Structure 1
Amino acid sequence: MTDHIENLAADVQAFTSNVFLVTGDRTALVDTGANFDVVSRIETRVDDLDTVVLTHTHGDHVGNVDAVRAAFDVDVQGHESAQPVVDTELGEAVRLGDHDYRVVHTPGHKDDHVCLYAPELSVCFAGDLVFANGAFGRTDLEEGDRETLIESIDRLRGTVDPGLSVLHAGHGPSVTSDAYATIERAAAAARQR
């Protein structure tokens, strides 16, 4: 089986993050988004969720956590179990769909930020660390730090394979060509003052 990954927030006009539904062995939601009815969108595609994994706990990524938790009685995983929206702390890897994703701690945008990388599938969920066209996450919010963000982008660049097929960003389009080069561009752009 091959994972199917769909952005449930692709056409949403509200302030939200992308919300990725990963189907396969272990049906998962990467981030829950905010300010739209994600539950009905999930229900039209799958009968149940096995887990929710958060890239980080900014409001636009976790605003729908309570609704998703109530509808599916699902465990919410994140980097820090001290966060009220997190039920279980992520370990070194997490199963999404039919593949294991490495959990890469990537602070700088927010202290609890992680990226998720499946080497076998050549897919990375980058949250708000890097975006299409080499853009990078904001560092002017609480817990934001430019130097830490640069270190995290470098860590991600050193973790993923140069042949990375797809980079799913927390906002905007997914990168389906030159995904590794997008990370390199973000690393260079973040160093510019």
Structure 2
Amino acid sequence: MFVGDEYESVATAFIDGDDALLVDALASLDEAQWLRRVLCEEMGKTVRAVAATHYMSDHLAGMSLFPDALTIAHRHHRHAFLSQNRRVDAFYREPRLVFDSAMTLRWGPHELRFVHNPGKTMDHVSVDVPSADLVCAGDNIVGNIVYLSKADPALLRQAIVRMRQFGRGTVIGGHMGRFPAATLDHAVHYLDRLQAAVVAIRATAEPQAIDARLAAIRIEACLAPQVEAVAFEREWHQRNLEAIVAQSVFALDTALASREAYA
């Protein structure tokens, strides 16, 4: 596993003899070159395939460094690429293999199960590897929290619950690194508590005070018990609050809750 400094983006290498398959490819060209130097020059591996958990630029930087590798993505990869906030067109590479709901690939001692699991993006893929007791989650989690951005929170929650059903002991995130399975429960807890806080504010606060109160939601109020936020999670919690204000996130949930209360 490689973790870069740029967005703490993650790439995971699965080894089969002298061949390697990458799941994601880091966020910057310099860090992708470091990955290639370590994996190919120092370890003597040849990258034969690069698979994307989702087609956003902060996970695609290294694709261009392996022109002979098979590129793998979900069929809706362009939707994700075009919808992102910080698109880097130079990192885009047309995938040579696309799939719809699921695909299984034998790689050395492991069977990699690519499962379409939309959440953070509509093309999101979970890579379930039972023999390694791990699942690559991509950006459906960010450590012990989630990043909402333009996602449907309900779909994001569903994606995390589905990964939890795989029953793996290790979760590899799209950022930060690897985590124990409980991280998935922590991410659901964060999402649920954040939604509850936002709905309560939208339902009870004076209209002119709503934005300020939303922006003041503390991450500690949303974290699971015994979980302490690291700096990266705090940064993305603040981005969540900005998205909630700018995009009226959970406004529909507030309306539905209000309608149910008066039914």
TM-score of the two chains, using structure 2 as the length reference: 0.59
RCO comparison, higher one (Cα < 8 Å, 6+): 1
What is the CA deviation profile of residues 86-105 of structure 1, one whole-angstrom value per residue up to 9, with x for unaligned ones? 21014422234421122222
Structure 1 gaps of 5+ residues are: 1-6
Question: Hey, what's the Cα distance between the residues in 2 that align with 1:82 and 1:145?
Answer: 17
Tell me which of 121, 124, 127 is aligned to 1:113: 124
Amino acid of the structure 2 residue aligned with 1:100: E
Amino acid of the structure 2 residue aligned with 1:80: R
- 1:149 aligned to 2:156? yes
Partner residue in 1 for 2:145: 135
- Single out whichever of 47-56 and 94-103 deviates more from structure 2: 94-103
For 1:33-52, list aligned pairs within 5 A: 33-35=26-28, 36=30, 37=33, 38-43=35-40, 44-52=42-50
- 1:103 aligned to 2:132? no
Partner residue in 2 for 1:54: 52
3-state secondary structure, aligned to 2:175: coil
Partner residue in 2 for 1:174: 178
Q: Name which one, 1 or 2, has greater alpha-carbon Rg.
A: 2
Question: Hey, what's the Cα distance between the residues in 2 that align with 1:46 and 1:167?
Answer: 27
- Contact kept, 8 Å, 2:20 with 2:45, in 1: the verdict is no
CA apart distance, 1:82: 6.0
- Single out whichever of 41-50 and 56-65 deviates more from structure 2: 41-50
3-state secondary structure, aligned to 1:32: coil
Task: Give the 3 Å change call, closer, same or farther, for CA 99–58 of structure 1 in structure 2.
Answer: same
For 1:174-193, list aligned pairs within 5 A: 174-175=178-179, 179-192=180-193, 193=195
RMSD, aligned CA:
2.1
Structure 2 gaps of 5+ residues are: 79-92, 196-263
CA apart distance, 1:42: 2.6
CA apart distance, 1:145: 1.5
- Contact kept, 8 Å, 1:127 with 1:169, in 2: the verdict is yes
Amino acid of the structure 2 residue aligned with 1:185: H
**Identical aligned residues as a percent:** 22
